[in-house]
C-alpha cells in the first residue's frame, strides 16, 4: 500500500523541498544516483564498462517549469556526450532522456521538447551512439511516440520505452516491433488510474510476458528493462524460441539494484546495460525507486533516525 503514497509524494513540491534538504538523504540517494556532476560520474562509467557492462546515461530531472531549464537540460546532455567522446565507448554508452525535462509540459511543449532533444540525438550519433526516450506518465505518451517517430526519420536507431502496466501498450508494441526499432519494455513506474492501467502485480507481469513475446517475435531489437528474476528467465526462453542470438536483444537494469545479476548476465555472454543516473535534481527518480520496494523506505527512514 505504501507504493502509491510514495508515488503521490514524488509529485509534491513540499515533499521535494523537505526530502531534498534532509541532511542524511544524500548518503541513501547515492545508492541509486552515484554522482552529481559529469566529473563525479565518469569514474563509474569506466568501472562499469571495465566490468563488461554497457550503460544508458540519465541526467536526472523532470517536470521543469521554464524554457531556460529545458535548455539547461539539453546542455547538460551535450556536455556529457562531449566528455564521453574521448572514451570512445560508442554504443556501449547511450543516453536516456525524459522529454518532460526538455520542456514537453510547457506551452508549445511538443515542439519545444523536439527542438531541445534533437541536438542531443545528433551529438550522440556523432560519437557513435544513440538516445532512448523514457516513458513518463500516460498523458505524455502520444507526444513522446510522435517525437520518437520524427527523430527516427533521421536517426532510425533512436529508441523508446513502453510500459507493460498500460492497456494501450500491447497495441504500441505491435506497431513498434518492426525492423530497425529499439524498444525497452518496463513494468511502469508512475501512479496510473485503473481506467488506463493494470493495478495488480500479477496482471502487469502477465502483460509484460505477452508484450515481450510480441517484441521477441518481431523484427526490432528488444531491451528487457526489469530486475524480476522470473521475467528474466522467461525472456531468455522467449529469445531462444524466437531464434534470437545473444546480440539480438539485451537486458537493462538500474544502477544500484541487483548488481551481482548485472555481472552474472554479462558473464553468460548477454548484453547487459546499466541505467546510470546522475545529477542534482534526483528527487523524482529517487522517490520512484523507494516506491518500487518498501524495504528501501525502511532503510531510508532508519538512516534519518540513526543520524
Q: What residues make contact with ligand FDA under the rule CB under 6 A?
A: 134-135, 161, 163, 186-190, 225-228, 252-254, 257-258, 275, 289, 292-293, 296
Residue placing its CB nearer to ligand FDA in the complex, 150 or 292: 292
Q: State the Cα angle at 233 between 228 and 239, rounded to 5°.
A: 120
* Residue 252, Ramachandran bin (φ over 0: left; ψ between -120 and 50: alpha; else beta): beta
Q: Shortest distance, CB of residue 168 to ligand FDA, whole angstroms?
A: 13
Closest distance to ligand FDA from the beta carbon of 146 (Å): 17
Q: Which is nearer to ligand FDA, 63 or 134 (CB)?
A: 134
Work out how close the CB of 18 gets to ligand FDA at its nearest, in angstroms, rounded to a whole number.
21
DSSP 205-237: HHHHHHHHHHHHHSSSEEEEE---HHHHHHHHH
Residue among 200, 206, 265, 257 nearest 232 (CA): 265
Contact call for residues 93 and 87 (beta carbons, < 8 A)? yes
Which of 301, 298, 277 is CA-nearest to residue 98?
Answer: 277
Shortest CB 286 distance to ligand FDA, Å: 10
Nearer to ligand FDA, 217 or 292 (CB): 292
How far apart CA 54 and CA 49 sit, in angstroms, is 6
CB of 273 within 8 A of CB of 252?
yes
**Are 249 and 239 contacting, i.e. CB atoms less than 8 angstroms apart?**
yes
DSSP-assigned beta bridge partners for residue 161: 184
Q: How far is the CB of 124 from ligand FDA (least distance, A)?
A: 17
Nearer to ligand FDA, 7 or 67 (CB): 7
The least distance separating ligand FDA from the CB of residue 21, rounded to whole angstroms, comes to 23
Distant-in-sequence, close-in-space partners of 171: CB < 8 Å, separation ≥ 6: none
Q: Pick the closer one to ligand FDA by CB: 67 or 228.
A: 228
Active site amino acids: 134, 184
* Closer residue to ligand FDA (CB): 217 or 228: 228
Contacts (Cβ under 8 Å, ≥6 apart) of 266: 51, 52, 53, 272
**Phi, psi angles (nearest 5°) of residue 61:** 150, 150
Among the listed residues 12, 20, 140, 120, the one whose alpha carbon sits nearest the alpha carbon of residue 75? 120
Amino acid at each position: 500500500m505504501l507504493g502509491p503514497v510514495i508515488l503521490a509524494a514524488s509529485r509534491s513540491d513540499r515533499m521535494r523541498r523537505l526530502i531534498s534538504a534532509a541532511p542524511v538523504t544524500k548518503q541513501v540517494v547515492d545508492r541509486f544516483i552515484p554522482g552529481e556532476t559529469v566529473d563525479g560520474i565518469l569514474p563509474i562509467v569506466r568501472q562499469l564498462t571495465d566490468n563488461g557492462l554497457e550503460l544508458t546515461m540519465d541526467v536526472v530531472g523532470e517536470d521543469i517549469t521554464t524554457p531556460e531549464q529545458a535548455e539547461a537540460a539539453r546542455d547538460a546532455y551535450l556536455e556529457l556526450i562531449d566528455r564521453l567522446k574521448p572514451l570512445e565507448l560508442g554504443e556501449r554508452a547511450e543516453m536516456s532522456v525524459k522529454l518532460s525535462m526538455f520542456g514537453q509540459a510547457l506551452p508549445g511543449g511538443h515542439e519545444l521538447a523536439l527542438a531541445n532533444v534533437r541536438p542531443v540525438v545528433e551529438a550522440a550519433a556523432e560519437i557513435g551512439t544513440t538516445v532512448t526516450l523514457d516513458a513518463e506518465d500516460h498523458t505524455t505518451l502520444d507526444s513522446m511516440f510522435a517525437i520518437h517517430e520524427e527523430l527516427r526519420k533521421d536517426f532510425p536507431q533512436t529508441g523508446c520505452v513502453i510500459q507493460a502496466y498500460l492497456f494501450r501498450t500491447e497495441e504500441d508494441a505491435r506497431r513498434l516491433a518492426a525492423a530497425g526499432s529499439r524498444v525497452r519494455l518496463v513494468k511502469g513506474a508512475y501512479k496510473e488510474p485503473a481506467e488506463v492501467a493494470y493495478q495488480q502485480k500479477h496482471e502487469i507481469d502477465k502483460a509484460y510476458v505477452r508484450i515481450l513475446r510480441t517484441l521477441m517475435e518481431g523484427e526490432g531489437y528488444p531491451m528487457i528493462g526489469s530486475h524480476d528474476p522470473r521475467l528474466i528467465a522467461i525472456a531468455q526462453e522467449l529469445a531462444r524460441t524466437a531464434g534470437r542470438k545473444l546480440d539480438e536483444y539485451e537486458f537493462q537494469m538500474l544502477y544500484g539494484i541487483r548488481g551481482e545479476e548485472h555481472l552474472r548476465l554479462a558473464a553468460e555472454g548477454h548484453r547487459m546495460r546499466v541505467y546510470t543516473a546522475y545529477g542534482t535534481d534526483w528527487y523524482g527518480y529517487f522517490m520512484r525507486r523507494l516506491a518500487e520496494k518498501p524495504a528501501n523506505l525502511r532503510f531510508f527512514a532508519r538512516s534519518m533516525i540513526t543520524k
